[in-house]
Amino acid sequence: MATGTDILDTIRTRLFTAVLGDVMDTRGLTRQFLPPAIRPIDPDTAPARVMAGRAMPVLEADCCGDVEWRGAGQGGGNPFPFGLMLRALDELQRDEVYVCTGGSPRYALWGELMSTRARTLGAAGAVVDGFHRDTLGIRKLGFPVYSHGSYAQDQRMRGRVIDFRCPIEFGNGVRIDPGDVIVADIDGVVVVPADHAADIVALALEKVEGEESVRQMIERGERTEDIFGRTGIM
């Protein structure tokens, strides 16, 4: 199996989250889906059937607005009230996914200008364990964003990025390391560990071919119980 961008291209054109999750289950990787509340911003107008890219994990934390913002731009305070967010955004590389968790649901973690910058850099998408804002603007850009939904409250005085390109863990126990493969579609977001990506993709391709054979058996009128007994696929 090819590596690098070939793996991403294969996922984008031939695979989907469900089949990758099924294959990882058989290999003992049973906790790879992010929380089901994380959904595509606009599934009907997504630019591609599947979003796939390498993870750039980002760690968010809540903060006190008065402490973070007082005096900024006037010779005092913090001139970067978002913490390391702008630096993390600027360091996105082609085919990477900005994946953020750690803050509370009191503010938006992603917006239109961030989408504009990420798209300019060739990033694959953004996945945030919280809200996005600027929905109409992001839809016009066609940039893939997955979140809990839309909420206009700014993070400027409420949250900041405290680290990036570091391991992170979502609330349901899913760990993401830098370089892991993030795959997202209308059914959810799944994490394929980098060390297993080539094998998982190869097995998923085999399963897709097997599922097509099963579909043909069903269409011929065969019993699903008999089909599963012969193929183990359903």
pLDDT score, position 234: 72
Does domain 30-193 bear CATH number 1.10.40.30? Answer: no
Tokens 């968010």: give the residue: 60
Separation in Å, CA 188 to CA 39, 98, 225: 6, 16, 28
Q: What's the pLDDT at 73?
A: 45
Q: Are 62 and 103 contacting, i.e. CB atoms less than 8 angstroms apart?
A: yes
pLDDT single digits (tens) 184-203: 999 999 999 999 999 999 99
72 residue type, one letter? A
Residues in the chain predicted with pLDDT less than 70, given as ranges, are 1-4, 44-48, 65-80
CB count in 10 Å sphere of residue 167: 13
SS3 call for 226: helix
Q: How far is CA 164 from CA 20, 30, 44, 180, 232, in A?
A: 26, 25, 31, 14, 41
User: Which of left, alpha, beta for 142 (phi over 0: left; psi -120 to 50: alpha)?
Assistant: left
Residue-wise pLDDT for 167-179, tens only, equals 999 999 999 999 9
Alpha carbon distance 90, 92 (integer Å): 6
Q: Write b or e for each residue in 45-57: b if 16 or more Cβ atoms lie within 10 A of its Cβ, otherwise e.
A: ebeeebbbbbbbb
CB-CB contact of 161 with 89 (8 Å)? no
The predicted pLDDT at position 10 comes to 96
Query: Does the predicted model carry a pTM greater than 0.85?
Result: yes
| Per-residue pLDDT, 12 | 95
User: pLDDT at position 45, please?
Assistant: 53
Decide: 69 and 157 in contact? Cβ < 8 Å: yes
**Within 10 A of 137 (CB to CB), how many other CB atoms are there?**
14
